[in-house]
Amino acid sequence: MTHEPPNPAIEPAGTAVADGITSADMFVGGAAILAAIVAIIGYAVQQNAGRRSERATLYGDAIGTVEAYLEAPYRIRRKIDDPNTWFAISSSISDTKASISHYQALLDMHAPASVATAFKNFADTAIREAGPQMTDAWGEPSVTRQTQIPLGQGYPRALSNGAREALVEAMSADLKKLWFRRIRAR
């Protein structure tokens, strides 16, 4: 007996196309494959969004640590005449410097070199700029009245602000990269 190929014009849907596989089976199989592909793409997009959010938080926290260091001269200027206050201020500054080192290490490990380098420049610039300001602030008389709390004029930060701007640009560029380009760049 000779076997003739099925005639789609005559054969009803769901009949065997080849080796017991029906057109309905092929449709279901194709739908399952498509669903799996959509699920994988959705998972990858979700994971990328989560990693991007974590990196944005890391970036913001790193900037905040350097900004805290830049605030140190103001804290010192508002000191009261009490050794416990002096200790608290100096301990806070030491903790902030340790935090800067912590974030530098995290960025060195998890961020592109452009971001890690820009952060190092921002931190170094802030230390160079705020360091002498802190020394001067320690030499100022202690606050004795509430009216002395507002300093009237801020400390100059032009260099730190410029380095911060460059850092934010590097971080923004990294966060805007598509996930598959970020993988290829490493």
pLDDT tens, residue by residue, 91-148: 999 999 999 999 999 999 999 999 999 999 999 999 999 999 999 999 999 999 988 8
For the ranges 31-40, 46-55, 64-73, the lowest mean pLDDT is seen at 46-55
Assess if residue 81 is contained within a domain: yes
Q: How many structural domains compose the chain?
A: 1
Assess if residue 96 is contained within a domain: yes
Predicted local confidence at residue 8, as pLDDT: 57
One-letter amino acid for residue 184 of the chain: R
Assess if residue 13 is contained within a domain: no
Residue 145 token pair: 């009245």
Assess if residue 132 is contained within a domain: yes
The pTM (predicted TM-score) of the whole model is 0.73
Assess if residue 171 is contained within a domain: yes
Which residue range(s) make up the domain with 119?
Answer: 54-185
Helices (H), the chain: 23-77, 83-110, 113-139, 158-176, 179-185
Chain mean pLDDT for the chain: 86
Among 137, 136, 131, smallest CA distance to 157 is for 131
Assess if residue 3 is contained within a domain: no
Question: Over 90: is that where the pLDDT of 46 sits?
Answer: no
The span from the CA of 34 to the CA of 36, in Å, is 5
Assess if residue 19 is contained within a domain: no
Are the C-beta atoms of 184 and 132 separated by less than 8 Å?
A: no
Assess if residue 127 is contained within a domain: yes
